[in-house]
Chain A
Amino acid sequence: MSHTKYLIVGCSHAGLTAMETIRLQDSEGAITMVTREETLPYSPTILPYFIAGQVPQEQIFLRDQAYFDKLNVTLLKGAAVVGADSAAKTIRLASGDEIHYEKLLLATGAGATVPPFPGIENVRYQVVRDLNDALKLRETMNQAKSAIVIGAGLIAMHSAENLAHAGLKVSMVVRRKVSLFAYFDVAAAGLIEKIFEDNGVHIATGSGVAKISPSDGGRCVVTLESGEDLTGDVLLLAAGVRPRIEYLEGSGIETDAGILVDNSMRTSAADIWAAGDVAQAPQFFEPGKTVNATLPNAVTQGRVAGMDMVSDPAFKPYSGSSGLNTFNFFGHHAFSVGLATIAEPTEDIEVNTTLLPSGLRYQKLVFQKDRLVGVSAINAALDPGIMRELIRRQTDLGAIKEKFVSAPLETGRLLMSKLWR
């Protein structure tokens, strides 16, 4: 059995960030990273761009082998973890090998959910979660003329756009009234949907899937609850994600939808941390824990976990999960941070919306008293990172709130320049 001081399972954003954070404090302690992938690490987020042919396969990797060598980190590729024993402090690989650790980080991410749609077992469908999925989709795509995408999140939207760019006729199935409901309010989402429609993507909103059935030539038909039938050569499921926790059965580590962690990313078991899509962590705006399967969140959590694992004196606890993302589509750009979907003002919530449909510009600022709590924007000149930081720090805008509303870019930069110095 091999032994390592730090063992990191999963070699993507959460795992890599934790490793780099540990190395800043402990330049010698043995670090082993295991991934079930046969390749160097890559980000799932890059896959839609890879599918679209925007980047060649040899260019998608986040780090090269020399990087791990230089940091003196052992990278075990093609090594799937199948079991963990928190009492003996070991993990078991599919090969039967065991690794003994002093500190363990679980960063195995999330896989795609396959909802139990009636008839799903009779058709060929695809998901996009890893490189193999992407390679498969590229192949089918090349022989296809049409596609159906089920889902309303960023992955669904990205995939639909890329399929459209590849020349396919794309239909989307969105159960809710609008897409991207986690990030944008109805007005903003409507604007985005219109751009999709203008680019030939048909979006069927407000109706779930009634059944799925095979059709001739390997095609499939998706029948909606509304009665509408959609036919496509390719069926892509992007209806949510599920943390990869199967291998933890019997390990004694507490799980719910994901691995339950506290604000230090510690699990219920001693010397075991979890971070990224696999973790279910405290929230920023409300009590309770949630899985926040986004890239920036995986990095933040990986950093917190790494700092705690190495007892970094600068350690600060995780401030909590909240929505944040950027979205680039058909030449337009959008982003959303915090409580950006609140539509109606309440007693202490103020909502300031600017909509310029002609120029396709949208900007929404949400305040709780004198603090910014949410921003979403489409094609607006704003610095998403500054907005994120103002929200996270709960900066009291006080006297300059009005100025902020009228000139959020300049005022944000000015605040940043003063506060961050």
Chain B
Amino acid sequence: MDKSYHTIAFYPQKCNGCNDCIEACARINTGEVSPAHSRIAIVKDSEDGSFGLALCRQCGEPRCVMDCPAGALSKNEDTGVIQWEETKCVNCQLCTLACSYAGITYNPVTRKVMKCDMCGGDPACAKVCGRGALEYLTSSDLYDKWGDMEDLFVPGISACLGCNSELLIRHTLRRIGPETVVATPPGCVAGVGSVGVNGFTATKTPVFHPLLTNTASMLAGARRYYNRIGRDITMLAFGGDGGTADVGFQSLSGAAERGEQMIYICIDNEGYMNTGVQRSSTTPYGAWTSTTPVGSVLRGKTQDAKPMPVLMMMHNCAYVATASTAFMEDYYAKLDKAVAAAKHGMAYIHVFSPCPTGWRFPPAMLIEIARKGVETNTVPLWEYINDGNEFHFTHSVDNPLPVQEFLSLIGKYRHLDADQIDHIQKMNKRRIEMLKMFSEQEERRAS
């Protein structure tokens, strides 16, 4: 029963009302292009120019199914699609009264009801949408797929409710597998008990607890030892932003410059969260922390965050990427590349990691914040592959949402005034412009 299903997601800000989806839907279902046959409808708000969607949500508790007197509607357990059986339907239209989304509608031409069946798993609307406004999402499937694999962290570690780091380390180690040595310097990941409580570790792989300053050099040494005895073992660091960008930076920089073989993952929760929420060099401008307080004089942090992933790209690492847990599919693909790159050099992944405890938001909002960070261009998703000097965005940075849609969800930004928001918006823009230079270089070379 606990199955997650595919879904057609709508991003209204990317829609321009071209109606291609409507035609595609009508065509695939009837061979005609008349919108009367379309199961999907896009409506335009003439006032603000925004778009709305009327489409079946393939509900978990489908009201249409409950209200059908003929048993003509049912939820397919395997696909999650609410299926309509024409031969059973008596055309009473009670389903059109049951659905609050116009997900099942009356077609005046066929004189029958109709609804989206997700084209048997290959929806024509999402395929035809060139702007990415409709997307056939499979990411929850990925959680399922990897959720079924052995979790290399034991249950019962003591992370905060809704902790992004826990989600991240469990999924990362599932993907990378047991032939791994894990280093967790002081920080949340070590603090939740991964390096051990009462003589037991919380991982099913070897794990050790370096100092805050020397994670990368210890892993470099361990890898050289395994190279000498002829075993291909992945070296993996889960560092916090403090252990990565502040005091651990010199050892990391050295290891990157030498091209040591490892995957270094920086879980960036933008401060020292497990010791009482102090600022770090990746704490963003304007953010409240216990050492950048908000009062009559100070209004949160006054400096901008250190652009850590860009610095690592400048080290000529074998592979550098940014990631967000709201885009797991993207993260998994990047992990695969990191595993391959770490066979000959350093792979560095910088993961945006909202923290319910230190940033002050309800745990249930975690993924939404991780998503809004990306969608507002606060956390652009990109990757750099040294071999071939490739740089590209893995999530479009065009048409971002206004940054307030991200900031307003988070308590540590509650005090921001218009000037501060303006500054953040400008910095986001500048960062994108800088990154675009890399990607344009890349395009020029390719052409």
Question: A13 within 8 Å of B by Cβ?
Answer: yes
Are B66 and A326 in contact, with the CB atoms below 8 A? no
By beta carbon, the residue of chain A nearest B92 is: A328
From B12, B71, B94, B98, contact of A62 by CB (8 A) = B71
Enumerate B181-220 residues with CB–CB distance to A below 8 Å: none
- The total of interchain contacts (Cβ-Cβ below 8 angstroms) comes to 117
With A13-B66, A46-B90 in contact, is A24–B61 under 8 Å at CB?
yes
- Nearest-neighbor residue (CB-CB) of A399 within chain B: B47
Docked complex: A313-335 residues within 8 A CB-CB of B: 324-326, 328, 331, 333, 335
Let me know if A26 is at the binding interface, CB within 8 A: no
- Contact of B94 with A420 in the complex, beta carbons under 8 Å: no
A45 engages B69 (CB within 8 Å)? yes
Residues of A24-56 whose CB lies within 8 A of B: 24, 27, 43-46, 49, 54-55
Could you say which residues of chain A place their CB within 8 Å of the CB of B28? none
> Which of these binds chain A: B103-111, B151-159, B299-307, B323-331?
B103-111
Chain A neighbourhood of B93, CB < 8 A: 326, 328, 333, 335, 384
Q: Report chain B residues within 8 Å CB of A190.
A: none
**In chain A, residues 381-421, which have Cβ atoms closer than 8 Å to a Cβ of chain B?**
381, 383-386, 388-389, 400, 403, 410, 412-414, 416-418, 420
A388–B63 CA distance with the chains assembled, in angstroms: 13
- Cβ of B8 within 8 Å of any chain A Cβ, yes or no, is no
In the bound complex, CA of A326 to CA of B41 (Å): 22
- Residues on B with beta carbons closer than 8 Å to the beta carbon of A63: 71
Distance, CA A55 to CA B100, complexed state (A): 28
Contact of A55 among B47, B63, B70 (CB under 8 A): B70
**Given contact pairs A296-B98, A326-B97, A388-B97, A54 touches B90 in the complex (Cβ within 8 A):** yes
CB distance from A328 to the nearest CB of B (A): 6
Pair A296/B111 contact, Cβ less than 8 Å: no
Q: Which residues from B are CB-within-8-Å of A379?
A: 108
User: Distance (Å) between the CB of A55 and the closest chain B CB?
Assistant: 6
In the bound assembly, the distance between CA atoms of A16 and B74 in angstroms comes to 14
What is the bound-complex CA distance between A403 and B44, given in angstroms? 12
Given the known A-B contacts A49-B70, A299-B67, are A331 and B111 also in contact in the complex, defined by CB atoms under 8 Å?
A: yes
Whether A384 contacts B45 in the complex (CB less than 8 A), given A295-B67, A417-B52, comes out as no
- Our pick among A13, A44, A299, A389 for the contact of B100 (Cβ within 8 Å) is A389
CB < 8 Å: which of A46, A324, A383 contacts B69? A46
B61, B90, B97: the one contacting A385 at CB < 8 Å is: B97
Check if B99 is an interface residue, CB within 8 A of chain A.
Answer: yes
Q: Is B70's CB under 8 angstroms from A386's CB?
A: no
Expressed in whole angstroms, the minimum distance between the Cβ of A35 and any Cβ of chain B is 16
Is B54 interfacial (CB 8 A cutoff)? yes
Chain A 8-24, CB-CB to B under 8 Å as 1, else 0, gives: 00000100110011001
- Does B277 have its Cβ within 8 Å of any Cβ on chain A? no
- Cβ of B101 and Cβ of A46 under 8 Å apart? no
Taking a contact as CB atoms under 8 Å apart, the answer to whether B99 and A385 are in contact is: yes
Residues of A within 8 A of B99 (CB): 383, 385
Question: B77: nearest residue on chain A (CB-CB)?
Answer: A70
Chain B proximity of A105: nearest CB distance (Å): 15
Most buried by A among B69, B91, B98: B69
Asked if B127 lies at the interface with its beta carbon under 8 angstroms from chain A, I say no
- Establish whether residues A416 and B100, one from each chain, have CB atoms under 8 Å apart when the complex forms: yes
Proximity bits, B80-93, A CB within 8 Å = 1, else 0: 00000001101111
Report Cα–Cα, A267/B29, bound state, in Å.
49
> In B46-85, which residues have CB < 8 Å from any A CB?
46-47, 52-54, 61, 63, 66-67, 69-71
Determine the distance from Cα of A414 to Cα of B66 in the docked complex, in whole angstroms.
25
> With an 8 A cutoff between CB atoms, is B43 at the interface?
yes
Inter-subunit contact B66/A324 (CB<8 Å):
no
B155 to chain A, nearest CB (A): 21
Give min CB distance, A113 to chain B, whole Å.
21
Query: With A46-B69, A295-B69, A417-B52 in contact, is A326–B94 under 8 Å at CB?
Result: yes
Least distance between A221 CB and chain B CB atoms (Å): 33
Asked whether A386 lies within 8 Å of B66 as measured between CB atoms, the reply is no
- Are B70 and A413 in contact, with the CB atoms below 8 A? no
Q: Report the minimum CB–CB distance from A240 to chain B (whole Å).
A: 20
Question: What's the nearest-Cβ distance from chain B to residue A362, in Å?
Answer: 15
CB-nearest residue of chain A to B12: A417
Q: Contacts of A324 on B, CB cut-off 8 Å?
A: 97
Contact B105 A383 (CB under 8 A): yes
Q: Out of B41, B70, B100, B106, name the residue touching A388 (CB < 8 Å).
A: B100
Q: How far is the CA of A218 from the CA of B34 in the complex (A)?
A: 54
Across the interface, B91 reaches (CB within 8 A) one of A44, A328, A388, A416, namely A328
A27 partner residues in chain B, CB cutoff 8 A:
1
Q: Decide if B96 is an interface residue (CB 8 Å cutoff).
A: yes
B102 is an interface residue with CB less than 8 A from chain A: yes
Q: Tell me, rounded to whole Å, the shortest Cβ–Cβ distance linking B14 to chain A.
A: 15
Interface string of B400-433 (1 = CB under 8 A from A): 0000000000000000000000000000000000
> How far apart are the CA atoms of A325 and B66 in the complex, in Å?
15
Closest chain B residue, CB of each to CB of A59: B88
Q: How far is the CB of B160 from chain A (nearest CB, A)?
A: 22
A416 touching B52 by the CB < 8 A rule? yes
> Considering the chains assembled together, what is the distance between the CA atoms of A410 and B97 in angstroms?
17
Nearest Cβ on chain B to A58's Cβ, whole angstroms = 11
What CA separation (Å) do A412 and B102 show in the bound complex?
A: 9
Known: A413-B41, A417-B52. A296 touches B96 (CB 8 A): no
Q: From residue B52, how far is it (CB to closest CB) to chain A in Å? A: 3
Q: How far is the CA of A107 from the CA of B80 in the complex (A)?
A: 29
Contacting B92 at CB < 8 Å: which of A17, A60, A326?
A: A326
Give Cα distance in the complex from A400 to B91, angstroms: 33
Query: Which residue of A has the minimal Cβ distance to B91?
Result: A328
A61 within 8 A of B: yes
Q: Is the CB of B52 within 8 A of A383?
A: no
Query: How far, in angstroms, from A414 to B63 measured CA to CA in the complex?
Result: 20
Once bound together, how far apart are the Cα atoms of A4 and B87, in whole Å?
Answer: 37
Whether A413 and B43, one on each chain, are in contact in the complex, defined by CB atoms closer than 8 angstroms, is: yes
- CA of A363 to CA of B259 in the docked complex: distance in angstroms? 73
Instruction: Identify A61's interface contact among B12, B71, B94, B101, CB under 8 A.
Output: B71
Closest to A326 in B: B93
Which of A299, A384, A410 is in CB contact (< 8 Å) with B66?
A299
Contacts of A403 in B (CB 8 A): 46
Complex CA gap A407/B193 in Å reads 60
**Interface set, chain A 45-98, CB cutoff 8 A to B:** 45-46, 49, 54-55, 59-63
Kindly report which residue of chain A lies nearest to residue B94, judged by CB atoms: A326
Question: Within 8 Å of chain B (Cβ to Cβ): is A150?
Answer: no
Provide the residues of chain B in CB contact with A43, threshold 8 Å.
69-70
Q: Does A248 contact B (CB under 8 A)?
A: no
List residues of chain A with CB within 8 A of the CB of B54: 383, 413, 416-417
Find chain A residues with CB under 8 A from B106 CB: 333, 381
Point out the residue from B61, B102, B108 that lies within 8 Å of A413, measured CB to CB.
B102
| Closest B residue by C-beta to A16 | B66
Nearest CB of chain A from residue B413's CB, rounded to whole Å: 23
Chain A neighbourhood of B96, CB < 8 A: 326, 335, 383-385
Which 3 A-B pairs have CB atoms at the shortest separation, nearest pair first?
A417-B52, A43-B69, A45-B69
New contact pairs (13) apart from A296-B97, A328-B91, A413-B102, CB-CB < 8 Å: A17-B66, A27-B1, A46-B90, A55-B90, A59-B71, A61-B71, A325-B97, A383-B105, A385-B63, A385-B97, A400-B47, A410-B43, A412-B102
A-B CB contact pairs (8 Å), 5 listed: A43-B69, A55-B90, A326-B92, A326-B94, A385-B101
Which A residues lie at the B interface, using CB under 8 A? 13, 16-17, 20-21, 24, 27, 43-46, 49, 54-55, 59-63, 295-296, 299, 303, 324-326, 328, 331, 333, 335, 337, 379, 381, 383-386, 388-389, 400, 403, 410, 412-414, 416-418, 420
| Residues of B near any A CB (own CB < 8 A) | 1, 12, 41, 43-47, 52-54, 61, 63, 66-67, 69-71, 87-88, 90-94, 96-102, 105-106, 108, 111
